[in-house]
Amino acid sequence: MPIPKTILHADGLKRCGWPKEDPLYVAYHDEEWGVPEWDDRALFEKLILDGFQAGLAWITILRKRDNFRKAFDDFEPEKIARYTPKKVERLMQDAGIVRNRAKIEGAILSARGYLKIMESGPGFSAMLWDHVGGKPLDNKMRAGQSAPAETPTSKAMSKQLIGHGFKFVGPTIVYAFMQAVGMVNDHEVTCWCHAECNKLAAKHAKKKKKK
């Protein structure tokens, strides 16, 4: 999608144009979007929420995120994997979340897939980050440049996740997920977060090298 040009905000910082002036969206942009995430459970949560976003604006999910966390037991895969049809019906009555049966049931199947990955391999995070060589890709986005809807990497990750039983993880959803969790840095180079996200990635790499 086209990324609006960076905006100079009242605090003197230049930011990507997409959060505009919405305080919640600006905070998400500054503190989360593009920040490299390596925690298994946190990655699972974000992927599930991106699946619920399909067909909706992300700000809609962001405004409901606290409700989602409460409804889905803080996105603990072990709990979600054991959800019963009765639980699904209760979720379908919860106005605080997106009441889509296919997506709710998909989250349960995805949780089961997550548990299998954690039991049989190096872990969810390691599996996903392996697709980008263990470190974020910096696309060096220019002002107003269009980010791709999907990439060969997001297609490969999508295929792997589907193979493990995940639902609502098509290549476009997966690329949005990769942007959000910092597997790709799609902040415009003129946005103050671009350099900050790269610094966090370098810090992690240095720490990992020492181990």
Q: Tokens for 140, please give them.
A: 């060096």
The answer to whether the predicted template modeling score (pTM) of the entire model surpasses 0.85 is yes
pLDDT average, residue stretch 116-130:
95
Give me the chain's average pLDDT, please: 94
pLDDT average, residue stretch 23-42:
97
Domains assigned to the chain: 7-210 (1.10.340.30)
Look at residue 47 and tell me whether its pLDDT is greater than 90: yes
Look at residue 1 and tell me whether its pLDDT is greater than 50: no
Strand partners, 166: none
Core vs surface per residue 158-183: b (16+ CB within 10 A) or e: bebbeebbbbbbbbbbbbbbbbbbbb
- pLDDT tens for residues 133-166? 999 999 999 877 888 999 999 999 999 999 999 9
* Cα–Cα distances in angstroms (integers) from residue 62 to residues 83, 106, 131, 148, in the given order: 23, 19, 27, 22
197 is in an annotated binding site: no
204 is in an annotated binding site: no
Cα-Cα-Cα-Cα dihedral sign, residues 71, 75, 79, 85: positive
What string of DSSP letters covers the chain? -BPPPPEE-TTS-EE-STTTT-HHHHHHHHHTTT-----HHHHHHHHHHHHHHTTS-HHHHHHHHHHHHHHTGGG-HHHHTT--HHHHHHHHT-TTS---HHHHHHHHHHHHHHHHHHHHSS-HHHHHHGGGTTS-EE--BPTTPBPPS--HHHHHHHHHHHHTT--S--HHHHHHHHHHTTSEE-SBTTSHHHHHHHHHHHHHHHHHHH-
pLDDT at 155 (0 to 100): 98
Look at residue 210 and tell me whether its pLDDT is greater than 80: no
193 is in an annotated binding site: no
